[in-house]
A = this chain, B = another copy of it.
């Protein structure tokens, strides 16, 4: 690499038009309600960026932060520091806790009696139970006085303090999370560390001991309520050492490799000074805990026994690994644990095709790791790199100027890809339920109409998303274009679920295919899938648009699990989006004739749609039997009415309906469907928002005409819909409305009412909630085409001082823009990982500089402190019209030509040929005014 320094003329251009979207700047004061509109939050609440919320006291009760990789299952970190909901047994496992599994602290200081604590915050009410508080959670042992939880997915921290101890303990837990890298984001384990700070001037001896039940034999159904369980017996705990790692290795002599419950677990550490018990004393009554605890509390040292006899039949054992340290005055030590597991056998207990049930598959992670110890070793060996990139993600993502509840909405729901809602089988086959019942996935699999809404996987792990598209079109779509909207295992069996196709599912997948093609820039992928995608569009003409007038009619099964009839805003919008996407994809693969047909139908369709369905405030359903035929919406204001259009926005297809009507429609959805109080509302359906909560209804009938039995979810509140409407409101410039809707969701998930890392719809970790990622492009103005190699930002909030994470199919990083009053601004693009090839890059002026012309410009590319290329330019006043400033440079033997243009409030960088920005590089760009 070499450094280039060039001076050149930069000629600014006059303003052409103000951007249509108003970007309000946070003023730090409350907004008065405008024309009676609902403003449940102050501007400060909406726009303020900064630290994310923390949880304490009773708000810790519902917190369960999932720890685990893609397709590995998870164990959740409870708000108090407890490990809960062990979902590593190839099933969801809400309420599955491992008895007598906890971390404990021993603290000894000269002049004081030794103290012991379970390293958890105090238990929270209720304390009911027919035998008192569940004994297997050791409720009678002392705990830390105070715990404060704070999560920035994938990292969670709990600060623990106790007025009677000279220590502060911070628990940190995470599983490596590397955007665009599913392999390294798919490791079956968790890093759990305790940073212990001595707050006194006297040295302190500490032990932190992790105790854990060997659960092998448990098949994931029911719960484990004690050491005894019908499936236990032959559980073997051993103390194992390899390389720098030592710890507890757990296996079973009874469960054979071919059994569904087969597996291994490990609790290991690279720490040298350890104390341990391969298993607690097997006594009568409660001797085991009594003897363990008395041993531990006496001096913080265990008996260091590695007794290798397997457990008796129908019971298992707890083992303990303790880490010893001495901490000097005001000193600090970090004691690290690695928890890992391997339960390779994945049973298809759920198949949508009943006679396919019972098949056994292998988890993808089991292809990489022979057992839990192997994955612990891998984690240990590769942790520096894995952790560095995970922390870089956390740093870039959370040190953003997007409001914390938005970051929380994005990241907490992106975690769904790493819960039991998804799984990942050998050969990298990625599948997903809609969500999870407490103990089973539901409903199977890859449900096209639910997964339509999802954006997180598409942007963070696009290779997995593309695999889902291949399944949608290549496995699930019959030759006539009928897409079966649920997947049966194994793939390619040719067995289909016998049920009518979902109109929204089929058409939405075409828009999503366009998105995935754009994110990846991979036209080979498109070509592979396209022939079937084309069939799906053609199927529409057979079933739903026989007249090819661009209006959907007939029986339209959809994501509300019922059928709509007649032209309607929701399915019609999907169709328009699919036609538009189809026409562009057809063009790209050379199907010009098809492209033309799609475009013609699309043009007819949008005119018809606009004409037929518009009621002056929003778009409706036109069906003459709305009041008689059950489960329609008719004149209702449907929150999903613009869903197809929103998918098109995120995919980069832009608006296909009139912009003014879109804005009016979104405004109507907010006005009519966003509830700021549910206390007088009557909803006989399912309840996701109540009392004084706020939330967006699926539908309302502000002008009357509510059918006696409207569609079955009409009065419900789904976070997946709230997020896409919030995103769409922001796309259409209704910023505060969009932010309000998103904030309302996160306020409902406050740790007291619900778990912030588990948004519920028809199941836990419900995939639809991954629409939240759509808030990122809407708020940042991020737009990317890997096909055109075009990247743009146009922040909608905090534009004077803006930072955000971004990701594309090939890289991810940080985007920053900052104004320096009226004098200038700086823009920078950091490539944190991967690489980014660009032909064009565009940004916008913040409000303080709107209408101004740049007089100087500084442009550079750096790799850390090393300058790759750098240009400083003085600019003459503009003479009007558009003129390009051109930079010719050379980088690693490649010449490049960069054209810089101000086009109104938009600053464009265009490379004559695609330009490669490498990981670690920063592109910086500073116009002066």
Contact = CB atoms under 8 A, between A and B. Distances in A.
A126 interface: yes
Secondary structure of the A side of the interface? loop
A144 to B, nearest CB: 10
Interface in A116-169: 116, 122-123, 125-133, 135, 138-143, 145, 164
B131 A763 contact: yes
A754 B126 CA distance: 6
25 contacts: A62-B128, A94-B130, A125-B752, A125-B754, A128-B755, A128-B760, A130-B435, A130-B442, A132-B686, A132-B687, A132-B760, A132-B761, A135-B685, A139-B690, A140-B684, A140-B685, A140-B715, A141-B682, A142-B682, A143-B679, A283-B709, A286-B685, A290-B685, A291-B708, A297-B682
Interface in A688-728: 688, 690-691, 708-709, 712, 715-716
B682 A130 contact: no
Interface in A636-664: none
A877 B131 CA distance: 63
Contacts of A708: 290-291, 294
Contacts of A539: none
Contacts of A142: 678-682
Top 6 closest pairs, chain A to chain B, by CB: A140-B683, A289-B684, A139-B687, A140-B687, A125-B753, A132-B686
A919 interface: no
A285 interface: yes
A400 interface: no
A252 to B, nearest CB: 26
A709 B290 contact: yes
A290 B145 CA distance: 48
A298 to B, nearest CB: 11
Given A61-B126, A630-B284, A755-B128, A133 B681 contact: no
Contact of A126 (B140, B679, B753): B753
Contacts of A630: 284, 287
A130 B760 contact: yes
A740 interface: no
A216 interface: no
Given A61-B126, A145-B679, A690-B123, A131 B286 contact: no
A708 B685 CA distance: 57
Given A284-B630, A690-B139, A752 B684 contact: no
A893 to B, nearest CB: 59
Query: Most chain-B Cβ atoms within 10 A of its Cβ — which of A145, A680, A716?
Result: A680
Interface string A753-785: 111000011111000000000000000000000
Contacts of A763: 130-131
A438 interface: yes
A432 to B, nearest CB: 16
Contacts of A808: none
A797 to B, nearest CB: 30
A345 interface: no
A115 interface: yes
A191 interface: no
Interface in A87-129: 94, 115-116, 122-123, 125-129
Given A138-B684, A685-B140, A687-B139, A752 B286 contact: no
Interface residues of A, number: 71
A286 B289 CA distance: 49
A436 interface: yes
A140 B686 CA distance: 7
Interface of A: 61-62, 94, 115-116, 122-123, 125-133, 135, 138-143, 145, 164, 283-287, 289-291, 293-294, 297, 435-438, 442, 630-631, 678-688, 690-691, 708-709, 712, 715-716, 748, 752-755, 760-764
Contacts of A126: 61-62, 752-754
Contact of A293 (B127, B283, B679, B682): B682
B762 A712 contact: no
Nearest to A758: B128
A115 B680 contact: yes
Given A115-B680, A125-B753, A691-B122, A686 B138 contact: no
Contacts of A715: 140
A678 to B, nearest CB: 8
Nearest to A630: B284
A135 B709 contact: no
Nearest to A145: B679
A116 B680 CA distance: 8
Contact of A123 (B140, B680, B691): B691
A914 B2 CA distance: 119
A128 B283 CA distance: 38
Contacts of A125: 62, 752-754
A145 B679 CA distance: 8
Contacts of A131: 686, 760, 762-763
Contacts of A678: 140, 142
Contact of A754 (B116, B127, B762, B764): B127
Nearest to A766: B130
Given A123-B691, A164-B680, A686 B135 contact: yes
Contacts of A442: 130
Contacts of A94: 130
From A62, A139, A141, A687, residue with most partner B Cβ within 10 Å? A687
B127 A690 contact: yes
A688 B132 contact: yes
A636 B301 CA distance: 27
A762 B715 CA distance: 44
Contacts of A283: 709
B681 A140 contact: yes
A287 B122 CA distance: 45
A287 B708 CA distance: 9
Given A436-B130, A712-B286, A753-B127, A684 B760 contact: no
A690 B115 contact: no
Contacts of A141: 682-684
Nearest to A124: B691
A438 B134 CA distance: 13
Contacts of A679: 122, 142-143, 145
Nearest to A690: B139
A438 to B, nearest CB: 5
A744 to B, nearest CB: 14
Contacts of A762: 130-131
Contacts of A286: 684-685, 712
Given A133-B686, A133-B688, 13 more contacts: A126-B753, A127-B690, A127-B754, A128-B760, A132-B688, A132-B760, A133-B687, A140-B685, A142-B678, A142-B680, A283-B709, A290-B708, A297-B682
